[in-house]
Homo-oligomer: A and B are copies of this chain.
Amino acid sequence: MRRRYITIKDIAKALDISVATVSRALRDTYDVNSQTRQKVLAMANELNYKPNFNATGLVKRSTHNIGVIIPAITNYYFSTVITGIQEVAKDHGFNLILFLTNDSPEVEIKIVEDLSVSSLDGILACVSAHENNYAHFIEIIDDGLPVVFFDRVADNITASKVMQDDYNGAFAAVQHLIDCGYKRIAHITGPKDLLLTQKRLSGYEHALKINNLTIDPSLIIHSGFSQADGISDISLLFAQNTQAPDAIFAVNDRKGIGAILALKQKNILIGKEIGVIGFTNDPICEIISPTLSTVAEPAYEIGKTSCSLLLKHINKAAFAAQNVTLSAELIVRESTQRG
């Protein structure tokens, strides 16, 4: 059986004072004589006292836990975001409780509905594609639980959102392809109902328009976010087009990698015959050959700002929802070099 932990009662008894005084001394606020505070602190240290979060949580109606709901952590972007989140959470004495949806809307809904909301002070969420059915989130938000969305956000929920600059990032990527001389540029992207997808798509379309290139719907493929999706998108693209594309803008690096792998299989020279650019700046971009041009997302920063934003919501109930966009930067590598 677990040993009983030291409580403030033990400290109080040892010092022959009341628990209230101990509590006050420990919290270093309120009116308490500095000498007695010293004694309390010393005794707490001696007994190796650790506060009981269940008890404080009960009375203060707050735990120091924030929930992170995320599709997966086995990829660079998500794990880096979480690292950023963890960094600021730790600095403020908050714990991270991890929930993995496995990119399944059903799992996500179940997680959110089963959530024992009373054990969380707030939530950081990166949603799965749902065809705009986010009732489960709206419910907990209405309950008053602070929620901040990041990366994949739903466009019809009023809550704080943190995203990279998807529109301008996509625009820069496509403009770069055009500058390199590519003309028939395909876009392999994610589910339609995510804001991220929409913004990158509109960045893509705008870049084409401004350069007087036509937007060909048969060059736009919506599917999932995985490397395998990238591979199958390429098959589709070459199957359904009489005139093959000469460049691929992938919604993320994993799909870009998939595209490169598929194109290599077809013995198409990447760079020279077909340009490929991704989005994220996964370290794998520098390992694959040819190295993959991309748009760097500030994943770590996104994690940090999402968490700080959430903490503001937690601390001030009236803190207004806020949209933050972090800039993304074009990184040119071999996969878009003609030479």
Task: List residues of chain A with CB under 8 Å of any chain B CB.
Answer: 1-3, 5, 50-55, 57-58, 61, 63, 65, 72-76, 79-80, 82-83, 86, 90, 95-100, 115-119, 143-145, 227, 257, 261, 283-284, 287-289, 317
Closest to A50 in B: B116
Q: Which listed residue, B3, B54, B115, B288, touches A58 by the CB 8 Å rule?
A: B54
Please indicate the chain B residues that have their CB under 8 angstroms from the CB of A79 in the complex.
73-75, 79
- A5→B99 CA distance, assembly (Å): 22
A-B contact pairs, 24 of them (CB 8 A): A1-B144, A1-B317, A2-B143, A2-B144, A2-B317, A5-B117, A5-B118, A50-B117, A52-B58, A52-B116, A52-B119, A53-B54, A53-B119, A54-B63, A54-B119, A73-B73, A74-B80, A75-B79, A83-B100, A86-B100, A257-B287, A284-B284, A287-B288, A288-B289
Copies of the chain in the assembly: 2
Q: Is the interface of A mostly helix, strand, loop or mixed?
A: mixed
Best-surrounded residue of A54, A116, A289 (most CB of chain B within 10 A): A54
- A72→B76 CA distance, assembly (Å): 12
- A3→B142 CA distance, assembly (Å): 9
Q: Across the interface, do A97 and B100 meet the contact criterion of CB distance under 8 Å? A: no
Q: Across the interface, do B73 and A3 meet the contact criterion of CB distance under 8 Å? A: no
Please indicate the chain B residues that have their CB under 8 angstroms from the CB of A73 in the complex.
73, 79, 82-83
Please indicate the chain B residues that have their CB under 8 angstroms from the CB of A98 in the complex.
82, 86, 95-98
Q: Across the interface, do A50 and B86 meet the contact criterion of CB distance under 8 Å? A: no
- A337→B117 CA distance, assembly (Å): 55
- The smallest beta-carbon distance between A46 and chain B, in angstroms, is 15
Q: Across the interface, do B118 and A50 meet the contact criterion of CB distance under 8 Å? A: yes
- A100→B90 CA distance, assembly (Å): 9
- A283→B75 CA distance, assembly (Å): 11
- The smallest beta-carbon distance between A328 and chain B, in angstroms, is 19
- A3→B73 CA distance, assembly (Å): 32
- The smallest beta-carbon distance between A20 and chain B, in angstroms, is 19
Please indicate the chain B residues that have their CB under 8 angstroms from the CB of A55 in the complex.
54, 58
- A26→B146 CA distance, assembly (Å): 28
Q: Which listed residue, B86, B116, B145, B288, touches A2 by the CB 8 Å rule?
A: B145
- A116→B50 CA distance, assembly (Å): 6
